[in-house]
């Protein structure tokens, strides 16, 4: 696969960055969309991509990402909804503004971006949307109410868009990783240690890897490899699915 124009949100770091690097390596023009200008530009420069600074909690910024991508490349073939963040608190004290921001960035923005790229994909009769959900789109854990609600909703959006895209050559899938070693998880280890009164090593062993069959964190490159497959022509019959990459977490 090469020459497909891809928008990747949250591509300044972690999983998004690995996906951007993998798609660019295969010869696909990549639009790096992130609120972090310094890191986003660095990634875009390194892969010969195009950077758009955007805050995905804002509807106008979601629109601008697609407008700039179309102005730059004339088409959008691939959309990877990846940007996200975590906040850990019991429901009783969960900050209401953080609830709203998490749903805006991790659920409403994927809807808006899907909506805005739909016409260009439909016109071409080919499109790929991959939503980076989480194992927490399939099962729950305590203290992550907004994140888990957004990720469960994202799988619902994935299924609906897949049904609407089928007639137009557009596939839509969700990817559901367990813990991937990224800056998001590094800070979560510290947060969980505080909330659960454990050491960082105890959080990794007892909380993060306890349900897993394979006792190690996932690499961003492993997630990127699955995403590259879902974006390929070979995955043309694959749609509406939520793909676990979870070390066997949900096998039990």
Closer to ligand NAD by CB, 83 or 130: give it.
83
Tell me: does residue 153 bind ligand NAD (CB under 6 A). Answer: no
Site string for ligand NAD, 37-76 (x = CB under 6 A): -----------------xxxx-------------------
Task: Give the residue carrying structure tokens 């019959």.
Answer: 237
From residue 72, how far is each of 46, 66, 96, 212 by CA, in Å?
18, 10, 38, 43
Q: Does the protein bind ligand NAD through residue 15 (CB under 6 A)?
A: yes
Site for ligand NAD in 209-248 (CB under 6 A): none
Dihedral angle computed from the Cα positions of residues 61, 31, 46 and 12, in that order, rounded to the nearest 10 degrees: 40
Q: Are 54 and 61 in contact (CB under 8 A)?
A: yes
Number of residues that bind ligand NAD (CB under 6 A): 27
- Strands 170-177 vs 127-132: parallel, antiparallel or unpaired: parallel
Burial call 8-28: b when 16+ CB within 10 Å, e when fewer = bbbbbbbbbbbbbbbbbeeeb
Residue 240: CB minimum distance to ligand NAD, A = 19
Per CB under 6 A, which region of 9-17, 67-75, 165-173, 228-236 contacts ligand NAD? 9-17
Q: Does 114 bind ligand NAD (CB under 6 A)?
A: no
99 binds ligand NAD per the rule CB under 6 A: no
Q: What's the rounded Cα separation, in Å, for the pair 214 and 201?
A: 17
Residues with a catalytic annotation lie at 147
Sites of contact with ligand NAD (CB under 6 A): 10, 12-16, 34-36, 54-57, 82-85, 105, 132, 134, 177, 179-180, 182-185
């Amino acid at each position: 696969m090469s020459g497909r124009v891809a928008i990747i949100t949250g591509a300044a770091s972690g999983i998004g960055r690995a996906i951007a690097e993998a798609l660019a390596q295969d010869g696909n023009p990549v639009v790096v969309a992130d609120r972090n200008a310094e890191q986003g530009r660095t990634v875009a420069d390194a892969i010969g991509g195009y950077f758009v600074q955007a805050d995905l909690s804002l509807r106008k910024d979601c629109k601008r990402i697609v407008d700039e991508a179309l102005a730059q490349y004339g088409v959008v073939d691939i959309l990877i909804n990846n940007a996200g963040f975590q906040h850990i608190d019991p429901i009783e004290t969960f900050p209401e503004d953080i609830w709203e921001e998490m749903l805006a960035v991790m659920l409403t923005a994927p809807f808006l971006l899907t909506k805005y790229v739909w016409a260009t994909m439909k016109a071409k009769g080919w499109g790929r949307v991959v939503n980076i959900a989480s194992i927490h789109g399939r099962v729950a854990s305590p203290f992550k109410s907004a994140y888990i609600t957004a990720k469960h909703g994202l799988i619902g959006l994935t299924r609906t868009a897949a049904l609407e895209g089928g007639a137009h050559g557009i596939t839509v899938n969700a990817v559901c990783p367990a813990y991937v070693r990224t800056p998001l998880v590094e800070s979560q280890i510290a947060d969980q240690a505080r909330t659960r009164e454990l050491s960082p090593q105890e959080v990794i062993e007892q909380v993060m890897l306890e349900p897993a069959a394979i006792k190690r964190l996932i690499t961003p490159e492993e997630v990127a490899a699955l995403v590259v497959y879902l974006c390929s022509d070979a995955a043309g019959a694959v749609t509406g699915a939520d793909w676990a990459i979870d070390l066997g977490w949900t096998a039990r």
